Amino acid sequence: MALTWKPVVDTRDAAALAEFRAAALPAAAVLERDGRKLFRGYSAVHHPEDPYAPVSGIGQGRRILLQDVPEPKQGKNRLHIDIHSGGELEAVVARLEKLGATRIEEQDQGPAGHWWILHDPDTPDYRF
């Protein structure tokens, strides 16, 4: 039996965060499929080229599930997403800022890489 997996992120607004992540990543925000809501209190970001399960319509392959939770976040997140810009760092960071991200810290490690740490609109200490 082949295993499938996905990271799940707790949030106060799964639909809004899914729209942000889908715009930030090369992905589609999955809120509905064939005109019906897939999950109550959940949303997903799914790579548009990956398949859907034929019966349930749930995305398979590369995806992130976002889950509404009533309580505020406690403590530091241990997960972040690296987005590789392919040499267009400033343009990518500017686009993410327009979507609601905030620049936090620039890192230049010479030959090892150059990047920005950003916060997403939902989680002040979430870095991607």
Listed by start position, the domains of the chain span 7-71, 80-128
Class of CATH domain 7-71: alpha beta
pTM exceeds 0.75 for this model: no
Q: Count CB-CB contacts under 10 A for residue 86.
A: 7
Q: Count CB-CB contacts under 10 A for residue 44.
A: 24
101 within 8 A of 118, measured Cβ to Cβ: yes
Which of 29-38, 59-68, 88-97 bottoms out in mean pLDDT, i.e. has the lowest?
29-38
User: Is pLDDT of 124 > 90?
Assistant: no
Quick one: pLDDT band at residue 97, thresholds 50, 70, 90? very high
Give mean pLDDT, residues 54-64.
Answer: 72
User: Is pLDDT of 35 > 80?
Assistant: no
